[in-house]
Amino acid sequence: MDFGKLAEQARQMQEELKRVQAAAEQELVTATAGGGMVKVTATAGGEIREIAIDPNAIDPSDPELLADLITAAVNEALRSGRALLESKLSSLLPGDLGGLLPGM
């Protein structure tokens, strides 16, 4: 067994994993809530890029509803981004990614 060759393969795999993760983290996902009244776009890396709110969703007498819609759309965008990232990385890593991705 050539440990030098094995170590080199592990290093190459780690570099490829970092490259794929960095690229995947920049991919965009979009989620909506309230029948499309609130739309959130985020990166697979967890950065919120845009929140769009339909003016009809703004009811001064019920600000909690708008807050709930925004929260739901943000959470769904972050879940979708995490799923996309895990999907991209799973092609490189067999099995469960569980503790491999920080914050996941």
**Consecutive 10-residue averages of pLDDT for the chain (104 residues):** 85 87 90 97 94 96 97 97 87 59 49
pLDDT of residue 9: 85
For 1-104, where are the alpha helices, taking DSSP H only?
A: 3-24, 63-90
pLDDT at site 67? 97
C-alpha to C-alpha distance for 97 and 86, rounded to whole angstroms:
7
Specify the pLDDT at position 60.
95
pLDDT at residue number 94: 59
**Could you tell me the two tokens for 73?**
């759309």
Cβ pair 15, 28 in contact under 8 A: no
How is the beta sheet containing 28-33 ordered, strand by strand? 28-33, 38-43, 48-53
What domains can be seen in the chain, in order of their start residue?
3-94 (3.30.1310.10)
Rounded Cα distance between 19 and 40, Å, is: 26
